[in-house]
Amino acid sequence: MNQFAQWLSQTYLSILIQNHNGWVIPTIQSIHIAGIGVVLASVFMVDLRILGWAGLDQTLRQTTNRFAPWLTGALCVLLATGVLMVIGEPVRELITVSFWIKMFLVGVGTLVAATFRISLRKHEHHWEDTISNRASIKWLAILTFLIWVVIIILGRLIAYDHVWGSWSPAQKA
Amino acid sequence: MDLPTFLASLESSGVATKIRNSLYFFPLIEATHVFGLAMVFGTMAIIDFRLLGLASTRRSFRRMASDILKWTWAAFIVTAATGSLMFITNAGVYYHNIFFRTKIVMLALAGINMLVFELTAGRSIDRWDKAASTPLIGRTTAVLSLAIWITIIFLGRWIGFTTTRATVGPEPQINLDNIFPGASEGTTPTAPPNEK
Protein backbone atom coordinates (compact mmCIF):
# COMPACT_ATOMS: atom_id res chain seq x y z
CA MET A 1 0.00 0.00 0.00
CA ASN A 2 2.90 2.34 0.74
CA GLN A 3 4.24 1.67 -2.73
CA PHE A 4 0.83 2.21 -4.27
CA ALA A 5 0.44 5.49 -2.37
CA GLN A 6 3.86 6.58 -3.55
CA TRP A 7 3.13 5.61 -7.12
CA LEU A 8 -0.22 7.41 -6.99
CA SER A 9 1.44 10.53 -5.66
CA GLN A 10 3.63 10.64 -8.78
CA THR A 11 0.75 10.51 -11.22
CA TYR A 12 -0.11 13.52 -13.32
CA LEU A 13 -3.48 14.20 -11.68
CA SER A 14 -2.01 13.88 -8.19
CA ILE A 15 0.76 16.35 -8.96
CA LEU A 16 -1.78 18.68 -10.55
CA ILE A 17 -3.85 18.63 -7.34
CA GLN A 18 -0.74 18.97 -5.16
CA ASN A 19 0.40 22.00 -7.14
CA HIS A 20 -2.89 23.74 -6.42
CA ASN A 21 -3.38 22.27 -2.96
CA GLY A 22 -4.02 25.72 -1.47
CA TRP A 23 -7.55 25.74 -2.75
CA VAL A 24 -8.23 22.44 -4.56
CA ILE A 25 -8.06 20.20 -1.49
CA PRO A 26 -10.23 22.43 0.75
CA THR A 27 -12.73 22.86 -2.10
CA ILE A 28 -12.99 19.11 -2.65
CA GLN A 29 -13.30 18.57 1.10
CA SER A 30 -16.07 21.17 1.36
CA ILE A 31 -18.07 19.55 -1.46
CA HIS A 32 -17.46 16.19 0.22
CA ILE A 33 -18.89 17.54 3.50
CA ALA A 34 -21.96 19.01 1.77
CA GLY A 35 -22.51 15.61 0.14
CA ILE A 36 -22.22 13.91 3.52
CA GLY A 37 -24.96 16.22 4.80
CA VAL A 38 -27.29 15.02 2.03
CA VAL A 39 -26.47 11.35 2.69
CA LEU A 40 -26.89 11.66 6.43
CA ALA A 41 -30.18 13.57 6.22
CA SER A 42 -31.57 11.15 3.61
CA VAL A 43 -30.77 8.11 5.75
CA PHE A 44 -32.07 9.97 8.79
CA MET A 45 -35.46 10.75 7.24
CA VAL A 46 -36.07 7.15 6.12
CA ASP A 47 -34.95 5.89 9.54
CA LEU A 48 -37.28 8.35 11.30
CA ARG A 49 -40.13 7.08 9.13
CA ILE A 50 -39.32 3.47 10.03
CA LEU A 51 -39.23 4.47 13.68
CA GLY A 52 -42.54 6.28 13.25
CA TRP A 53 -41.06 9.54 14.50
CA ALA A 54 -41.58 11.59 11.35
CA GLY A 55 -43.26 11.58 7.95
CA LEU A 56 -46.28 9.57 9.06
CA ASP A 57 -48.38 11.37 6.44
CA GLN A 58 -46.34 9.40 3.89
CA THR A 59 -46.00 5.68 3.28
CA LEU A 60 -42.63 4.07 3.77
CA ARG A 61 -42.44 3.62 -0.01
CA GLN A 62 -43.16 7.30 -0.62
CA THR A 63 -40.55 8.34 1.92
CA THR A 64 -37.96 6.03 0.40
CA ASN A 65 -38.77 7.19 -3.13
CA ARG A 66 -38.30 10.77 -1.99
CA PHE A 67 -34.87 10.27 -0.45
CA ALA A 68 -33.24 7.28 -2.19
CA PRO A 69 -32.32 9.19 -5.38
CA TRP A 70 -30.68 11.88 -3.24
CA LEU A 71 -28.80 9.23 -1.30
CA THR A 72 -27.56 7.63 -4.52
CA GLY A 73 -26.69 10.96 -6.11
CA ALA A 74 -24.84 12.21 -3.04
CA LEU A 75 -22.96 8.91 -2.71
CA CYS A 76 -21.74 9.37 -6.29
CA VAL A 77 -20.54 12.90 -5.45
CA LEU A 78 -18.82 11.54 -2.35
CA LEU A 79 -17.15 8.77 -4.34
CA ALA A 80 -15.89 11.25 -6.94
CA THR A 81 -14.60 13.81 -4.43
CA GLY A 82 -13.26 11.01 -2.24
CA VAL A 83 -11.28 9.52 -5.12
CA LEU A 84 -9.88 12.97 -5.93
CA MET A 85 -8.78 13.42 -2.32
CA VAL A 86 -7.03 10.04 -2.35
CA ILE A 87 -5.30 10.92 -5.62
CA GLY A 88 -4.32 14.34 -4.30
CA GLU A 89 -3.01 13.14 -0.94
CA PRO A 90 -2.48 9.37 -1.22
CA VAL A 91 -0.23 8.99 1.79
CA ARG A 92 -2.39 11.12 4.06
CA GLU A 93 -5.46 9.06 3.13
CA LEU A 94 -4.33 5.50 2.49
CA ILE A 95 -1.79 5.09 5.27
CA THR A 96 -4.35 5.49 8.03
CA VAL A 97 -6.52 3.21 10.13
CA SER A 98 -9.49 5.59 9.96
CA PHE A 99 -9.64 5.52 6.17
CA TRP A 100 -9.88 1.74 5.92
CA ILE A 101 -12.43 1.28 8.70
CA LYS A 102 -14.41 4.07 7.08
CA MET A 103 -14.29 2.36 3.68
CA PHE A 104 -15.48 -0.88 5.26
CA LEU A 105 -18.40 0.91 6.94
CA VAL A 106 -19.29 2.78 3.74
CA GLY A 107 -19.58 -0.64 2.12
CA VAL A 108 -21.79 -1.91 4.94
CA GLY A 109 -23.96 1.24 4.93
CA THR A 110 -24.43 1.15 1.17
CA LEU A 111 -25.23 -2.57 1.24
CA VAL A 112 -27.85 -2.09 3.96
CA ALA A 113 -29.47 0.79 2.02
CA ALA A 114 -29.52 -1.18 -1.24
CA THR A 115 -30.87 -4.33 0.41
CA PHE A 116 -33.58 -2.30 2.12
CA ARG A 117 -34.65 -0.66 -1.13
CA ILE A 118 -34.81 -3.95 -3.04
CA SER A 119 -36.67 -5.68 -0.24
CA LEU A 120 -39.14 -2.79 0.03
CA ARG A 121 -39.82 -2.96 -3.69
CA LYS A 122 -40.45 -6.71 -3.56
CA HIS A 123 -42.48 -6.83 -0.38
CA GLU A 124 -44.01 -3.38 -0.25
CA HIS A 125 -47.21 -4.29 1.59
CA HIS A 126 -45.43 -6.60 3.95
CA TRP A 127 -43.01 -3.79 4.83
CA GLU A 128 -45.74 -1.18 5.31
CA ASP A 129 -47.97 -3.44 7.41
CA THR A 130 -45.68 -5.61 9.48
CA ILE A 131 -41.94 -5.53 8.82
CA SER A 132 -41.48 -1.85 9.69
CA ASN A 133 -43.24 -2.46 13.01
CA ARG A 134 -40.75 -5.07 14.13
CA ALA A 135 -38.53 -4.02 16.98
CA SER A 136 -35.53 -5.59 15.24
CA ILE A 137 -36.08 -3.41 12.17
CA LYS A 138 -36.41 -0.29 14.32
CA TRP A 139 -33.11 -1.11 16.00
CA LEU A 140 -31.58 -1.73 12.61
CA ALA A 141 -32.75 1.74 11.53
CA ILE A 142 -30.97 3.29 14.51
CA LEU A 143 -27.87 1.18 13.87
CA THR A 144 -27.83 2.22 10.20
CA PHE A 145 -27.91 5.87 11.15
CA LEU A 146 -25.11 5.33 13.66
CA ILE A 147 -23.00 3.64 10.98
CA TRP A 148 -23.16 6.82 8.91
CA VAL A 149 -22.36 8.95 11.96
CA VAL A 150 -19.27 6.83 12.63
CA ILE A 151 -18.32 7.12 8.95
CA ILE A 152 -18.36 10.91 9.27
CA ILE A 153 -16.31 10.86 12.45
CA LEU A 154 -13.75 8.48 10.95
CA GLY A 155 -13.60 10.69 7.87
CA ARG A 156 -12.45 13.61 9.97
CA LEU A 157 -10.11 11.43 11.99
CA ILE A 158 -8.15 10.57 8.83
CA ALA A 159 -6.43 13.90 9.47
CA TYR A 160 -5.57 12.77 13.00
CA ASP A 161 -4.57 9.14 12.67
CA HIS A 162 -2.37 9.42 15.76
CA VAL A 163 -5.53 8.88 17.84
CA TRP A 164 -5.16 5.19 16.97
CA GLY A 165 -1.75 5.05 18.61
CA SER A 166 0.25 2.00 17.60
CA TRP A 167 -2.62 0.79 15.38
CA SER A 168 -1.88 3.57 12.97
CA PRO A 169 0.44 2.53 10.13
CA ALA A 170 1.65 6.13 9.99
CA GLN A 171 3.04 5.71 13.50
CA LYS A 172 4.79 2.46 12.68
CA ALA A 173 6.34 3.71 9.48
CA MET B 1 -11.84 43.45 30.50
CA ASP B 2 -10.67 44.29 27.02
CA LEU B 3 -10.94 41.88 24.13
CA PRO B 4 -7.38 40.51 23.95
CA THR B 5 -7.51 39.82 27.68
CA PHE B 6 -10.87 38.11 27.28
CA LEU B 7 -9.59 35.94 24.41
CA ALA B 8 -6.49 35.08 26.41
CA SER B 9 -8.60 34.14 29.41
CA LEU B 10 -10.64 31.82 27.18
CA GLU B 11 -7.45 30.19 25.98
CA SER B 12 -6.09 29.73 29.47
CA SER B 13 -9.36 28.37 30.86
CA GLY B 14 -9.34 24.88 32.31
CA VAL B 15 -11.49 23.43 29.54
CA ALA B 16 -9.36 24.91 26.76
CA THR B 17 -6.19 23.68 28.42
CA LYS B 18 -7.62 20.18 28.83
CA ILE B 19 -8.55 20.01 25.15
CA ARG B 20 -5.14 21.30 24.06
CA ASN B 21 -3.29 18.84 26.26
CA SER B 22 -5.20 15.85 25.00
CA LEU B 23 -4.36 13.84 21.91
CA TYR B 24 -7.98 12.91 21.47
CA PHE B 25 -10.29 15.77 22.47
CA PHE B 26 -9.69 18.16 19.59
CA PRO B 27 -10.00 15.55 16.82
CA LEU B 28 -13.14 14.09 18.39
CA ILE B 29 -14.67 17.53 18.95
CA GLU B 30 -13.92 18.49 15.36
CA ALA B 31 -15.37 15.21 14.06
CA THR B 32 -18.54 15.80 16.10
CA HIS B 33 -18.66 19.32 14.66
CA VAL B 34 -18.67 17.87 11.14
CA PHE B 35 -21.42 15.42 12.09
CA GLY B 36 -23.51 18.26 13.52
CA LEU B 37 -23.12 20.53 10.55
CA ALA B 38 -23.87 17.68 8.15
CA MET B 39 -27.16 17.22 10.00
CA VAL B 40 -27.90 20.95 10.01
CA PHE B 41 -27.13 21.32 6.30
CA GLY B 42 -28.86 18.12 5.21
CA THR B 43 -32.09 18.62 7.13
CA MET B 44 -32.18 22.32 6.26
CA ALA B 45 -31.81 21.47 2.58
CA ILE B 46 -34.88 19.23 2.74
CA ILE B 47 -36.95 22.19 3.95
CA ASP B 48 -35.37 24.55 1.41
CA PHE B 49 -36.10 22.19 -1.49
CA ARG B 50 -39.70 21.90 -0.32
CA LEU B 51 -39.95 25.70 -0.30
CA LEU B 52 -38.46 25.85 -3.77
CA GLY B 53 -41.06 23.38 -5.02
CA LEU B 54 -38.32 20.96 -6.09
CA ALA B 55 -39.03 18.07 -3.73
CA SER B 56 -41.71 16.78 -1.34
CA THR B 57 -44.04 19.20 -3.13
CA ARG B 58 -47.28 17.50 -2.14
CA ARG B 59 -46.50 17.44 1.55
CA SER B 60 -47.70 19.93 4.11
CA PHE B 61 -44.91 22.41 4.79
CA ARG B 62 -46.04 22.82 8.37
CA ARG B 63 -45.91 19.10 8.94
CA MET B 64 -42.45 18.77 7.42
CA ALA B 65 -41.17 21.69 9.44
CA SER B 66 -42.46 20.22 12.67
CA ASP B 67 -41.03 16.78 11.76
CA ILE B 68 -37.61 18.03 10.81
CA LEU B 69 -36.64 21.38 12.28
CA LYS B 70 -36.40 20.17 15.89
CA TRP B 71 -33.58 17.87 14.74
CA THR B 72 -31.98 20.72 12.84
CA TRP B 73 -31.94 22.79 16.03
CA ALA B 74 -30.62 19.92 18.11
CA ALA B 75 -27.82 19.42 15.59
CA PHE B 76 -27.16 23.17 15.54
CA ILE B 77 -26.68 23.13 19.31
CA VAL B 78 -24.18 20.27 18.98
CA THR B 79 -22.37 22.15 16.22
CA ALA B 80 -22.30 25.45 18.11
CA ALA B 81 -21.08 23.76 21.30
CA THR B 82 -18.28 21.87 19.56
CA GLY B 83 -17.42 24.98 17.54
CA SER B 84 -17.12 27.02 20.72
CA LEU B 85 -14.88 24.38 22.28
CA MET B 86 -12.57 24.49 19.29
CA PHE B 87 -12.60 28.29 19.37
CA ILE B 88 -11.48 28.62 22.98
CA THR B 89 -8.44 26.37 22.43
CA ASN B 90 -6.92 29.05 20.23
CA ALA B 91 -9.25 32.04 20.57
CA GLY B 92 -6.76 34.73 19.60
CA VAL B 93 -5.83 33.04 16.33
CA TYR B 94 -9.38 32.21 15.31
CA TYR B 95 -10.66 35.64 16.25
CA HIS B 96 -8.26 37.28 13.82
CA ASN B 97 -8.78 34.73 11.05
CA ILE B 98 -10.71 36.31 8.18
CA PHE B 99 -12.50 33.06 7.30
CA PHE B 100 -13.63 32.61 10.88
CA ARG B 101 -14.96 36.16 10.96
CA THR B 102 -16.75 35.75 7.66
CA LYS B 103 -18.25 32.49 8.90
CA ILE B 104 -19.68 34.22 11.98
CA VAL B 105 -21.15 36.94 9.73
CA MET B 106 -22.65 34.20 7.55
CA LEU B 107 -24.18 32.52 10.60
CA ALA B 108 -25.76 35.85 11.54
CA LEU B 109 -27.06 36.23 7.97
CA ALA B 110 -28.54 32.73 8.17
CA GLY B 111 -30.37 33.82 11.31
CA ILE B 112 -31.64 37.02 9.71
CA ASN B 113 -32.71 35.09 6.62
CA MET B 114 -34.70 32.72 8.83
CA LEU B 115 -36.31 35.66 10.63
CA VAL B 116 -37.29 37.24 7.32
CA PHE B 117 -38.95 33.97 6.34
CA GLU B 118 -40.82 33.72 9.64
CA LEU B 119 -42.07 37.30 9.39
CA THR B 120 -43.18 37.05 5.76
CA ALA B 121 -44.01 33.73 4.07
CA GLY B 122 -44.03 32.02 7.45
CA ARG B 123 -47.08 34.07 8.45
CA SER B 124 -49.17 32.92 5.50
CA ILE B 125 -48.40 29.20 5.63
CA ASP B 126 -52.12 28.41 5.86
CA ARG B 127 -52.54 29.75 2.35
CA TRP B 128 -49.78 27.67 0.72
CA ASP B 129 -49.13 24.86 3.20
CA LYS B 130 -49.91 22.08 0.71
CA ALA B 131 -49.28 23.98 -2.51
CA ALA B 132 -46.28 23.07 -4.64
CA SER B 133 -45.73 26.75 -5.33
CA THR B 134 -44.73 28.87 -2.36
CA PRO B 135 -44.56 32.68 -2.13
CA LEU B 136 -41.65 34.33 -3.92
CA ILE B 137 -40.17 35.54 -0.66
CA GLY B 138 -40.24 31.95 0.63
CA ARG B 139 -38.37 30.72 -2.42
CA THR B 140 -35.91 33.59 -2.13
CA THR B 141 -35.11 32.78 1.50
CA ALA B 142 -34.73 29.10 0.54
CA VAL B 143 -32.13 29.92 -2.14
CA LEU B 144 -30.34 32.24 0.29
CA SER B 145 -30.41 29.59 3.00
CA LEU B 146 -28.80 26.99 0.71
CA ALA B 147 -26.20 29.48 -0.49
CA ILE B 148 -25.36 30.67 3.02
CA TRP B 149 -25.00 27.18 4.50
CA ILE B 150 -22.83 25.94 1.64
CA THR B 151 -20.66 29.03 2.09
CA ILE B 152 -20.45 28.26 5.80
CA ILE B 153 -19.19 24.74 5.04
CA PHE B 154 -16.49 26.14 2.73
CA LEU B 155 -15.48 28.83 5.25
CA GLY B 156 -15.22 26.24 8.00
CA ARG B 157 -12.85 24.16 5.92
CA TRP B 158 -10.82 27.25 5.06
CA ILE B 159 -10.41 28.07 8.75
CA GLY B 160 -8.80 24.66 9.20
CA PHE B 161 -6.36 25.29 6.38
CA THR B 162 -5.38 28.82 7.41
CA THR B 163 -4.88 28.38 11.15
CA THR B 164 -2.49 26.32 13.17
CA ARG B 165 -3.99 24.32 15.95
CA ALA B 166 -2.46 25.11 19.29
CA THR B 167 -1.01 21.94 20.71
CA VAL B 168 0.85 21.76 23.94
CA GLY B 169 0.45 18.05 24.38
CA PRO B 170 2.93 15.38 23.37
CA GLU B 171 1.55 15.08 19.87
CA PRO B 172 3.76 12.87 17.74
CA GLN B 173 5.09 15.11 15.01
CA ILE B 174 5.63 12.64 12.24
CA ASN B 175 6.50 14.20 8.94
CA LEU B 176 5.22 11.81 6.31
CA ASP B 177 7.18 13.68 3.67
CA ASN B 178 10.40 12.42 5.24
CA ILE B 179 9.13 8.87 5.34
CA PHE B 180 7.73 8.79 1.83
CA PRO B 181 9.92 11.21 -0.08
CA GLY B 182 7.91 10.75 -3.23
CA ALA B 183 4.76 12.01 -1.64
CA SER B 184 5.77 15.63 -1.60
CA GLU B 185 7.30 15.84 -5.02
CA GLY B 186 5.79 18.64 -6.96
CA THR B 187 4.44 20.33 -3.88
CA THR B 188 5.76 23.56 -2.56
CA PRO B 189 8.00 22.81 0.39
CA THR B 190 6.23 25.19 2.73
CA ALA B 191 5.10 23.73 6.01
CA PRO B 192 1.42 22.81 5.82
CA PRO B 193 -0.74 24.58 8.39
CA ASN B 194 -1.37 21.80 10.83
CA GLU B 195 -3.33 19.41 8.61
CA LYS B 196 -5.88 18.81 7.19
Contacts of A21 in chain B (CB under 8 A): 187
How confident is the model over A100-113, as pLDDT tens digits?
999 999 999 999 99
> Residue A155 and residue A93: Cα distance in Å, rounded?
10
pLDDT of B174 over the 90 cut: no
For chain B, say whether A52 makes contact (Cβ under 8 Å): no
Subunit contact A33:B46, Cβ cutoff 8 A: no
How confident is the model over A91-143, as pLDDT tens digits?
889 999 999 999 999 999 999 999 999 999 999 999 998 898 899 999 999 99
Subunit contact A162:B172, Cβ cutoff 8 A: yes
pLDDT of B57 over the 90 cut: no
> Residue B9 and residue B18: Cα distance in Å, rounded?
14
pLDDT of B50 over the 90 cut: yes
Could you tell me if A155 and A102 are in contact, meaning their C-beta atoms sit under 8 angstroms apart?
yes
Contacts of A156 in chain B (CB under 8 A): 27, 30-31, 34
For chain A, say whether B41 makes contact (Cβ under 8 Å): yes
> What percent of chain B clears pLDDT 90, i.e. is strictly above it?
80
The shortest C-alpha distance from A169 to chain B (Å) reads: 11
Predicted confidence at residue A20, as pLDDT, reads 85
In order, the DSSP letters of chain B are: --HHHHHHHHHTSHHHHHHHH-SSHHHHHHHHHHHHHHHHHHHHHHHHHHHTTSSSTTS-HHHHHHHHHHHHHHHHHHHHHHHHHHHHHTHHHHHH-HHHHHHHHHHHHHHHHHHHHHHTGGGGHHHHTT-SS--HHHHHHHHHHHHHHHHHHHHHHHHHHHS-----S------HHHHSGGGGTTS--SPPSS--
Give A3's contacts (C-beta < 8 A, 6+ positions apart): none
pLDDT of B195 over the 60 cut: no
Contacts of B30 in chain A (CB under 8 A): 156
Q: What is the pTM of this model?
A: 0.89
Contacts of B150 in chain A (CB under 8 A): 30, 34
